[in-house]
A and B are shown apart, each in its own frame.
Chain A
Amino acid sequence: DAGVTQSPTHLIKTRGQQVTLRCSPISGHKSVSWYQQVLGQGPQFIFQYYEKEERGRGNFPDRFSARQFPNYSSELNVNALLLGDSALYLCASSLYVGLAGASNTGELFFGEGSRLTVL
């Protein structure tokens, strides 16, 4: 079975531009989460969507937005790019939205990420 897939894998943009990153979750997973990982740091939570509804939002400006489609794939959009937006953007999918359920380990399945460089 295919894991979490993300596209593009690498991209270069200039300040002020807009970018759209895409994620396809594991088949059967209804929850998609986005994380930003700046070089040398741990990932930071940006958004979570479950059944096409936003279920969580991290401390990121309104320039960041996301959505989830009926097939549970997701897009992350970042407008008015800044140099500080350069990072690895990770998408994670899961069966569940939180930690409820006796069989729920809470495991997130991550893709290999989209590396964004802003010049």
Chain B
Amino acid sequence: AQKVTQAQTEISVVEKEDVTLDCVYETRDTTYYLFWYKQPPSGELVFLIRRNSFDEQNEISGRYSWNFQKSTSSFNFTITASQVVDSAVYFCAPRPGGSHNNDMRFGAGTRLTVKP
């Protein structure tokens, strides 16, 4: 069975602080894909990044960076120099490697509040 855990329910930071969102995905699958989505107050989910389980290279894209460690099943997402517009609920969403459909297993989400 697969299990996705976002242990941080809510995080509050002051603008310009860095913030890291944690996600742990426990699975016996050797191949899987990990997505991060952002849900602003308007409701629609916005795709941020996708990582493959067979690629542990960490990357940076603008203010976003992600750290994937397969040995600990952790897939953490960092926002540097946070802005008020980053306030949203962030979801980690794994997808099984053998999936032939869009069945994504969203975590419970982390609500990020960035204060001015």
Binding site for B on A (CB under 8 A): 3-4, 31, 33, 35, 40-45, 48, 50, 55-56, 58, 88, 90, 92, 94, 97-99, 105-113, 115
Say yes or no: B103 contacts A56, CB within 8 Å.
yes
A41 contacts which of B44, B102, B108 (Cβ < 8 Å)? B108
The listed residue (B42, B43, B95, B107) touching A99 by CB distance below 8 A is B95
- A-contact bits for B79-116, CB 8 A (1 contact / 0 none): 00000000000010101000111111111110000000
Given contact pairs A42-B109, A105-B50, A113 touches B44 in the complex (Cβ within 8 A): yes
A88 nearest CB neighbor, chain B only: B43
B92 (CB) vs chain A CBs: closest residue: A42
**B residues within 8 A CB of A58?**
103
A106:B33 contact, CB within 8 angstroms: yes
Q: By the criterion of a CB under 8 Å from any partner CB, how many residues of chain B are at the interface? A: 23
A-B contact pairs, 25 of them (CB 8 A): A31-B102, A35-B106, A40-B108, A41-B108, A43-B91, A43-B104, A48-B102, A50-B101, A55-B100, A56-B102, A56-B103, A58-B103, A90-B44, A90-B45, A92-B102, A94-B102, A97-B101, A99-B33, A99-B95, A106-B33, A106-B35, A106-B50, A107-B50, A109-B47, A113-B43
Are the C-beta atoms of B91 and A45 separated by less than 8 Å?
Answer: no
Residues from chain B with a CB closer than 8 A to the CB of A43 are 45, 91, 104, 106
Residues of chain A within 8 A of B45, CB atoms compared: 43, 90, 92, 108, 110
- A97 x B102 contact (CB < 8 A): yes
Quick check: A33 and B44 within 8 Å, CB to CB?
no
Known A99-B33, A106-B33; judge A45-B47 contact (CB<8 A): no
**Chain B residues with Cβ under 8 A from A112's Cβ?**
42-44
A90 to chain B: closest CB distance in Å?
Answer: 7
Bound Cα distance from A110 to B104, whole angstroms: 13
Bound Cα distance from A79 to B45, whole angstroms: 26
Return A100 CB to nearest CB of chain B, in Å: 8
